[in-house]
Chain A
Amino acid sequence: MRNYLPSILLIAVFVIVWEVGARIVNTEFILPAPSGIGLKLWDLKGLLLKEHLTSTLLIIVIGLAISIVLGIALAITMTQSSVMEKTFYPIIITSQTIPIIALAPIFVLWFGYSIWSKVVVTILITFFPITVSTYDGLRSSSKELKELLLTMGASKKDIFFKLDVPSAIPYFFSGMKVAVPLSVIGAAIGEWLGAQEGLGYFSRRMMTQFDGAGVFAPIVILSLLGIIFFLIVIMFEKKALKWRK
């Protein structure tokens, strides 16, 4: 905790300046004070946490789960077959130049206001870091260790499970640390464009009502959500990589 003291202090200073500034400007609908946001959060806690958070959380969890399964499967396929690698790798890289956020309305067109239009945005945005990092990880295994395993009479399967997979795990977690905050963004954007519930949807609705504090309140929850997910990834990472000091 001591390590974070400077950051905590800086944030505290920032919040105080904001509070004072907001009181001087005194236009709550444009620049709400942190205290105002806090009060709003408290007022709306039931609605935000029960209804909107559940909906957003579901999108994030389903989207991430599909991304992980798809990303790992594609990464493994590409390392096992050079035809697959040559086919998919360039496509995956160039797919990142497509503005996924701009595509989101298409998904609303296709999937309507159902959860899937949001899940698709989340998958598209998180799929890339997971796939590429896992793929790089699987290919990062040491050639010397591979030869050593071969001299022990190892099969292809042995090399994959005893060498390639453990070598890929640190890379996979790096990918997850990028993907998890992105998943929150993906869900929120998806909700802006076509939803009837969710924290992103609620924030946008409050904007149309000129309720500054109402815009910020769900964003605070979204950030906390991102932080919690990130901490969960770090917890798993520490557990999986306890050999790393």
Chain B
Amino acid sequence: MSKAVLEFKDVSFQYQEADKSVDLLDSLHFRVFDGEFISIIGASGSGKSTLFRLITGLEQPVSGSIHINGEQRPNRLGSVGYMPQQDLLMPWRTIYENAVLPLEIKGVSKQDAHQQVVKGLKEFGLSGYEQNYPSDLSGGMKQRVSFLRAVLSGSNILLLDEPFSALDAMTKLSMQEWLLAQWEKRGQTILFITHDVNEALFLSDRIFILTERPVKQLKEAVVPMNRPRTLSGLHAPEVTKMKEQLIEQLRERISL
């Protein structure tokens, strides 16, 4: 946890709304270290998704700089793996063809891509579904394909935008455990947007809370739980206390 893989330096961002610009981020500063699992929570409209759009390069900051793996590049597109809220699989592509998409775009040779995808599908428990279409798969399986697609982008930073919000409670739980196992195995850095405080506590090392607007700094909570995590760990007194504090902070924001 020594090297900062993602750093925001005095980043400000505004968006246009009916002829006037609204400040969303104001000189925001934060760092994410190699191999961390970070959750970002906040009420809707608090700028969580904007953070992701800035990191992926879909948006540019008004001022300040964003450093990915120590480099500051104006064109960040293609430098991090992004998993959107809906699975966003292409319905006309088979599971294999969906997973291979980032490799196709990066111009990886067919043979090399084939090896990576087959290996990935196997590790993600999707072997045998290569030739199926997304409509044949359950919600949890589609999310796994979507996650695999983000992983195959080859980036050491993965952004996951409320990936499990559309799943039922049981599937969600097993997907969370599955995600943790994958993360522990791969050692990538994960930024995870959620509005589920339990989910954030269960998964992450640190939690960023977006409360004010414009966002000047991130409130940060270090989760007091060892790894590997278990569900019963969520009932430890210091964890429940933190949970209450987090909910309190989010509630303040909403009552504004």
A243 touches B88 (CB 8 A): no
Let me know if B56 is at the binding interface, CB within 8 A: yes
A151 touches B104 (CB 8 A): no
Cβ contact of B92, chosen from A147, A154, A241, cutoff 8 A: A241
| CB neighbors of B among A125-142 (8 A) | 142
B88 touches A145 (CB 8 A): yes
B77 touches A150 (CB 8 A): yes
Interface residues of chain B: helix, strand, loop or mixed (majority): loop
B84 touches A144 (CB 8 A): yes
Convert B87-103 into 0s and 1s, putting 1 for each residue whose CB lies closer than 8 angstroms to a CB of A: 01011111000000110
Let me know if A50 is at the binding interface, CB within 8 A: no
With a CB–CB cut-off of 8 A, which chain A residues contact B82? 148, 151-152
Q: Give me the 8 closest cross-chain CB pairs, A-B, nearest first.
A: A153-B78, A151-B56, A243-B133, A151-B82, A152-B102, A166-B92, A152-B105, A243-B92
Considering the complex, give the chain A residue whose CB is closest to the CB of B89. Answer: A145
B residues sitting closer than 8 Å to A (CB atoms) are 56-58, 77-80, 82, 84, 86, 88, 90-94, 101-102, 104-106, 133, 135, 153
Considering the complex, give the chain B residue whose CB is closest to the CB of A241. Answer: B92
A151 touches B92 (CB 8 A): no
Cβ contact of A151, chosen from B77, B91, B106, cutoff 8 A: B77
CB distance from B234 to the nearest CB of A (A): 32
Let me know if A239 is at the binding interface, CB within 8 A: no
Let me know if A2 is at the binding interface, CB within 8 A: no
With a CB–CB cut-off of 8 A, which chain B residues contact A155? 105
Docked Cα-Cα span, A149 to B86, in Å, equals 14
Interface residues on A, range: 20 to 34
A151 touches B58 (CB 8 A): yes
Task: Identify which of A152, A158, A163, A244 gathers the most chain B CB atoms within 10 Å of its CB.
Answer: A152
Task: Identify which of A148, A162, A163 gathers the most chain B CB atoms within 10 Å of its CB.
Answer: A148
CB distance from B186 to the nearest CB of A (A): 19
B88 touches A144 (CB 8 A): yes
Docked Cα-Cα span, A162 to B101, in Å, equals 9
| CB neighbors of B among A100-147 (8 A) | 142, 144-145, 147
| CB neighbors of B among A211-245 (8 A) | 241, 243-245
With a CB–CB cut-off of 8 A, which chain A residues contact B93? 166, 243
Considering the complex, give the chain B residue whose CB is closest to the CB of A149. Answer: B105
9 A–B contacts, CB within 8 A, in A order:
A145-B88, A148-B84, A150-B56, A150-B57, A151-B56, A151-B77, A158-B104, A158-B105, A166-B90
